[in-house]
Amino acid sequence: MCFDEWGPLELRPIGGVAWAPRRRPVRMRATYRRTKGTEQFFGFYDVHADCLDGVFRKRKRLPELFDAFRRLRRCYPRTKLFVVMD
């Protein structure tokens, strides 16, 4: 199991198909103005199953990290886990 956390992840729209054809498209807000907040992602990659799993949390602290590890343990209740953290 490989573990990594990254963030903050912005919750902002990305220009799509209807965005480009306009003459002067509405500018997207700057990254320093996060009106809808940010999220942290705690990700787990299972090497044998080739599966990425994870949880989104509002903050990146030890209680949130322990919650992510509890969820990982619920997914694999009877196996021995080796977690690689960078």
Query: How many domains would you assign to the chain?
Result: 1
- pTM over 0.75, yes/no: no
Task: Give per-residue pLDDT as tens, 19-64.
Answer: 556 666 666 655 666 667 778 888 888 888 888 888 888 888 889 8
Confidence category of residue 14, pLDDT binned at 50, 70, 90: low
Query: Rounded mean pLDDT of 1-28?
Result: 63
**Domain region containing 77:** 2-85
Cα separation of 23 and 75, whole Å? Answer: 50
Q: Please report, for residues 53, 55, 77, 81, 86, the alpha-carbon distance to residue 49 in angstroms, rounded to integers and kept in the order given.
A: 11, 18, 16, 14, 20
60 vs 18, higher pLDDT: 60
Q: Are 16 and 23 in contact (CB under 8 A)?
A: no
